[in-house]
Protein backbone atom coordinates (compact mmCIF):
# COMPACT_ATOMS: atom_id res chain seq x y z
CA UNK A 1 0.00 0.00 0.00
CA UNK A 2 1.44 3.34 -1.09
CA UNK A 3 0.26 6.76 0.05
CA UNK A 4 1.76 9.58 -2.03
CA UNK A 5 1.17 13.27 -1.41
CA UNK A 6 1.24 15.45 -4.52
CA UNK A 7 1.93 18.97 -3.30
CA UNK A 8 1.49 20.53 -6.77
CA UNK A 9 2.53 24.21 -6.68
CA UNK A 10 2.67 24.54 -2.91
CA UNK A 11 5.49 24.80 -0.35
CA UNK A 12 8.85 26.41 -1.10
CA UNK A 13 12.03 25.18 0.59
CA UNK A 14 11.50 26.85 3.97
CA UNK A 15 7.96 25.58 4.40
CA UNK A 16 9.07 22.17 3.10
CA UNK A 17 11.75 21.84 5.80
CA UNK A 18 9.25 22.76 8.51
CA UNK A 19 6.55 20.47 7.12
CA UNK A 20 8.87 17.48 6.73
CA UNK A 21 10.27 17.89 10.25
CA UNK A 22 6.67 17.75 11.51
CA UNK A 23 5.79 14.89 9.15
CA UNK A 24 8.50 12.63 10.49
CA UNK A 25 7.10 13.11 13.99
CA UNK A 26 3.62 12.03 12.84
CA UNK A 27 4.12 9.49 10.06
CA UNK A 28 6.13 6.33 10.54
CA UNK A 29 5.83 4.38 7.31
CA UNK A 30 5.72 0.96 8.95
CA UNK A 31 3.62 -1.44 6.94
CA UNK A 32 2.94 1.08 4.14
CA UNK A 33 5.04 3.14 1.73
CA UNK A 34 4.85 6.91 2.07
CA UNK A 35 6.00 9.38 -0.58
CA UNK A 36 5.88 13.16 -0.93
CA UNK A 37 5.99 14.68 -4.45
CA UNK A 38 7.31 18.19 -4.00
CA UNK A 39 8.14 21.15 -6.27
CA UNK A 40 11.59 20.98 -7.91
CA UNK A 41 13.01 23.83 -5.83
CA UNK A 42 11.97 22.10 -2.59
CA UNK A 43 13.41 18.66 -3.37
CA UNK A 44 16.72 19.20 -1.57
CA UNK A 45 14.95 20.51 1.52
CA UNK A 46 12.61 17.49 1.53
CA UNK A 47 15.38 14.93 0.96
CA UNK A 48 17.43 16.50 3.76
CA UNK A 49 14.58 16.79 6.24
CA UNK A 50 13.29 13.26 5.59
CA UNK A 51 16.68 11.52 5.53
CA UNK A 52 16.44 8.22 7.42
CA UNK A 53 12.68 8.60 8.05
CA UNK A 54 11.59 6.03 5.47
CA UNK A 55 9.41 8.66 3.75
CA UNK A 56 10.59 8.95 0.14
CA UNK A 57 10.77 12.06 -2.00
CA UNK A 58 9.52 12.19 -5.60
CA UNK A 59 9.43 14.96 -8.20
CA UNK A 60 6.23 15.90 -10.04
CA UNK A 61 7.68 15.62 -13.55
CA UNK A 62 10.89 14.68 -15.40
CA UNK A 63 12.07 15.18 -18.97
CA UNK A 64 12.82 12.34 -21.42
CA UNK A 65 16.31 13.53 -22.31
CA UNK A 66 19.25 13.70 -19.93
CA UNK A 67 20.71 16.91 -21.38
CA UNK A 68 20.03 19.24 -24.27
CA UNK A 69 18.33 22.43 -25.40
CA UNK A 70 15.14 21.98 -23.31
CA UNK A 71 14.74 25.24 -21.42
CA UNK A 72 12.79 24.83 -18.21
CA UNK A 73 12.99 21.03 -18.09
CA UNK A 74 14.64 18.82 -15.46
CA UNK A 75 16.24 15.43 -16.19
CA UNK A 76 15.65 12.20 -14.31
CA UNK A 77 19.39 11.75 -13.70
CA UNK A 78 19.57 15.20 -12.12
CA UNK A 79 16.74 14.24 -9.78
CA UNK A 80 18.42 10.97 -8.83
CA UNK A 81 21.59 12.91 -8.01
CA UNK A 82 19.63 14.78 -5.32
CA UNK A 83 18.42 11.61 -3.60
CA UNK A 84 15.01 11.79 -5.24
CA UNK A 85 13.79 8.23 -5.88
CA UNK A 86 10.86 8.73 -8.23
CA UNK A 87 8.59 11.04 -10.14
CA UNK A 88 5.00 11.56 -11.18
CA UNK A 89 4.43 11.75 -14.96
CA UNK A 90 1.39 12.61 -17.04
CA UNK A 91 -0.64 14.28 -14.30
CA UNK A 92 -3.95 15.57 -15.66
CA UNK A 93 -2.97 19.14 -14.79
CA UNK A 94 0.02 18.76 -17.11
CA UNK A 95 -2.22 17.21 -19.76
CA UNK A 96 -4.91 19.91 -19.42
CA UNK A 97 -2.80 23.02 -18.85
CA UNK A 98 0.67 22.35 -20.27
CA UNK A 99 0.15 20.36 -23.45
CA UNK A 100 1.23 16.96 -22.12
CA UNK A 101 0.12 14.16 -24.44
CA UNK A 102 -0.03 10.39 -24.13
CA UNK A 103 3.19 10.27 -26.11
CA UNK A 104 5.17 12.78 -24.03
CA UNK A 105 3.90 11.25 -20.76
CA UNK A 106 5.02 7.83 -21.99
CA UNK A 107 8.45 9.12 -23.03
CA UNK A 108 8.92 10.73 -19.62
CA UNK A 109 7.92 7.49 -17.89
CA UNK A 110 10.27 5.36 -19.98
CA UNK A 111 13.27 7.60 -19.46
CA UNK A 112 12.68 8.01 -15.72
CA UNK A 113 12.44 4.22 -15.29
CA UNK A 114 15.58 3.72 -17.36
CA UNK A 115 17.33 6.24 -15.11
CA UNK A 116 16.47 4.21 -12.03
CA UNK A 117 13.58 6.31 -10.75
CA UNK A 118 10.23 4.92 -9.70
CA UNK A 119 7.32 6.30 -11.72
CA UNK A 120 3.73 7.14 -10.84
CA UNK A 121 2.03 7.52 -14.23
CA UNK A 122 -1.34 9.27 -14.04
CA UNK A 123 -4.38 8.43 -16.15
CA UNK A 124 -8.04 9.38 -15.91
CA UNK A 125 -11.09 10.45 -17.86
CA UNK A 126 -12.83 13.82 -18.10
CA UNK A 127 -16.37 14.15 -16.80
CA UNK A 128 -17.75 14.41 -20.36
CA UNK A 129 -15.89 11.23 -21.30
CA UNK A 130 -17.43 9.39 -18.35
CA UNK A 131 -20.87 10.74 -19.27
CA UNK A 132 -20.39 9.40 -22.79
CA UNK A 133 -19.27 6.02 -21.40
CA UNK A 134 -15.80 6.48 -22.84
CA UNK A 135 -13.95 5.87 -19.56
CA UNK A 136 -12.49 2.51 -20.59
CA UNK A 137 -11.52 3.79 -24.05
CA UNK A 138 -9.63 6.70 -22.50
CA UNK A 139 -7.95 4.56 -19.84
CA UNK A 140 -7.05 1.95 -22.44
CA UNK A 141 -5.41 4.57 -24.66
CA UNK A 142 -3.55 6.30 -21.81
CA UNK A 143 -2.32 3.14 -20.10
CA UNK A 144 -1.53 1.55 -23.48
CA UNK A 145 0.82 4.41 -24.38
CA UNK A 146 2.67 4.06 -21.07
CA UNK A 147 3.03 0.30 -21.37
CA UNK A 148 4.13 0.45 -24.97
CA UNK A 149 6.95 2.83 -24.01
CA UNK A 150 8.00 1.24 -20.72
CA UNK A 151 7.27 -2.47 -21.00
CA UNK A 152 6.69 -4.17 -17.67
CA UNK A 153 8.69 -2.57 -14.89
CA UNK A 154 8.52 -3.39 -11.19
CA UNK A 155 9.08 0.34 -10.56
CA UNK A 156 5.97 1.49 -12.45
CA UNK A 157 2.83 2.50 -10.55
CA UNK A 158 -0.36 3.73 -12.23
CA UNK A 159 -2.52 6.41 -10.59
CA UNK A 160 -6.17 6.46 -11.65
CA UNK A 161 -7.28 10.06 -11.21
CA UNK A 162 -10.67 10.83 -12.73
CA UNK A 163 -10.26 14.46 -13.79
CA UNK A 164 -13.72 15.40 -12.50
CA UNK A 165 -12.70 14.32 -8.99
CA UNK A 166 -9.47 16.33 -8.76
CA UNK A 167 -9.67 19.31 -6.46
CA UNK A 168 -13.45 19.37 -6.80
CA UNK A 169 -14.44 17.69 -3.55
CA UNK A 170 -16.27 15.14 -5.76
CA UNK A 171 -14.84 11.71 -5.11
CA UNK A 172 -15.36 8.62 -7.20
CA UNK A 173 -17.55 6.22 -5.30
CA UNK A 174 -15.69 3.15 -4.06
CA UNK A 175 -17.56 1.17 -6.76
CA UNK A 176 -16.49 3.59 -9.53
CA UNK A 177 -12.88 3.46 -8.33
CA UNK A 178 -12.91 -0.33 -8.04
CA UNK A 179 -14.39 -0.77 -11.49
CA UNK A 180 -11.81 1.52 -13.15
CA UNK A 181 -8.96 -0.11 -11.22
CA UNK A 182 -10.14 -3.60 -12.14
CA UNK A 183 -10.18 -2.54 -15.79
CA UNK A 184 -6.66 -1.05 -15.56
CA UNK A 185 -5.54 -4.28 -13.87
CA UNK A 186 -6.49 -6.17 -17.04
CA UNK A 187 -4.02 -3.94 -18.95
CA UNK A 188 -1.03 -3.83 -16.64
CA UNK A 189 0.49 -5.72 -13.75
CA UNK A 190 1.36 -2.75 -11.54
CA UNK A 191 0.12 -1.20 -8.30
CA UNK A 192 -2.81 1.16 -8.98
CA UNK A 193 -3.38 4.24 -6.81
CA UNK A 194 -6.64 6.18 -6.65
CA UNK A 195 -6.47 9.99 -6.72
CA UNK A 196 -9.20 12.62 -6.59
CA UNK A 197 -10.38 14.33 -3.40
CA UNK A 198 -8.99 11.65 -1.10
CA UNK A 199 -9.51 12.82 2.49
CA UNK A 200 -9.20 11.29 5.96
CA UNK A 201 -12.99 10.73 5.92
CA UNK A 202 -13.10 8.69 2.69
CA UNK A 203 -9.63 7.11 2.61
CA UNK A 204 -10.41 3.84 4.39
CA UNK A 205 -13.44 2.99 2.26
CA UNK A 206 -11.61 3.71 -1.02
CA UNK A 207 -8.45 1.91 0.08
CA UNK A 208 -10.56 -1.03 1.21
CA UNK A 209 -11.51 -1.87 -2.39
CA UNK A 210 -9.64 -4.96 -3.63
CA UNK A 211 -7.94 -3.31 -6.63
CA UNK A 212 -7.06 -0.02 -4.91
CA UNK A 213 -3.40 -0.31 -3.89
CA UNK A 214 -2.95 3.15 -2.45
CA UNK A 215 -3.74 6.82 -2.96
CA UNK A 216 -2.30 9.88 -4.68
CA UNK A 217 -3.43 12.72 -2.46
CA UNK A 218 -3.49 16.39 -3.48
CA UNK A 219 -5.04 18.99 -1.18
CA UNK A 220 -5.26 16.76 1.88
CA UNK A 221 -1.51 16.04 1.72
CA UNK A 222 -0.67 19.68 2.43
CA UNK A 223 -1.67 19.42 6.07
CA UNK A 224 0.38 17.10 8.30
CA UNK A 225 -2.60 15.97 10.37
CA UNK A 226 -4.78 15.05 7.42
CA UNK A 227 -1.92 13.36 5.54
CA UNK A 228 -1.03 11.41 8.70
CA UNK A 229 -4.69 10.41 9.11
CA UNK A 230 -4.79 9.07 5.53
CA UNK A 231 -1.58 7.11 6.19
CA UNK A 232 -3.16 5.70 9.36
CA UNK A 233 -6.28 4.68 7.39
CA UNK A 234 -4.05 2.93 4.86
CA UNK A 235 -2.28 1.07 7.62
CA UNK A 236 -5.56 0.00 9.16
CA UNK A 237 -6.88 -1.51 5.91
CA UNK A 238 -3.59 -3.13 4.93
CA UNK A 239 -3.23 -5.27 8.08
Catalytic residues: 91, 161
Task: Determine which residue in the list 23, 32, 218, 235 makes contact with ligand 13P, applying CB under 6 A.
Answer: 218
Footprint of ligand 13P on 91-110 (CB under 6 A): 91
Footprint of ligand 13P on 167-206 (CB under 6 A): 167, 195-198
- 214 is an interface residue for ligand 13P by CB under 6 A: no
Output the smallest distance, CB 151 to ligand 13P, in A.
24
Output the smallest distance, CB 122 to ligand 13P, in A.
7
Output the smallest distance, CB 166 to ligand 13P, in A.
4
- 124 is an interface residue for ligand 13P by CB under 6 A: no
SS (H, E, C) the chain: CEEEEECCCCCCHHHHHHHHHHHHHHCCCCCCEEEEECCHHHHHHHHHHCCCCCCEEEECCCECCCCCCCCCCCEHHHHHHCCCCEEEECCHHHHHHCCCCHHHHHHHHHHHHHCCCEEEEEECCCHHHHHCCCHHHHHHHHHHHHHHHHCCCCCEEEEECCHHHCCCCCCCCHHHHHHHHHHHHHHCCCCEEEECCCCHHHHHHHHCCCCCCEEEECHHHCCHHHHHHHHHHHHHHHC
* Of 77 and 112, CB closest to ligand 13P: 112
Stretch that binds ligand 13P, among 136-144, 150-158, 179-187, 214-222 (CB under 6 A): 214-222
Task: Determine which residue in the list 55, 216, 224, 231 makes contact with ligand 13P, applying CB under 6 A.
Answer: 216
* Of 55 and 77, CB closest to ligand 13P: 55
Where do contacts with ligand 13P occur on this chain (CB under 6 A)?
6, 91, 161, 166-167, 195-198, 216-220
Amino acid sequence: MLIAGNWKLFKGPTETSEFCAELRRHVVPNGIDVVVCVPFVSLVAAVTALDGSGVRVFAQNAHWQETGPYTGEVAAGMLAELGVTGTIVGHSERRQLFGETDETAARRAAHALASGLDVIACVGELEAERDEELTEDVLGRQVGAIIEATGASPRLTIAYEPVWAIGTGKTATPEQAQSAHAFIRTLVDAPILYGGSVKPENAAVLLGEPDVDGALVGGASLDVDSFAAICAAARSVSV
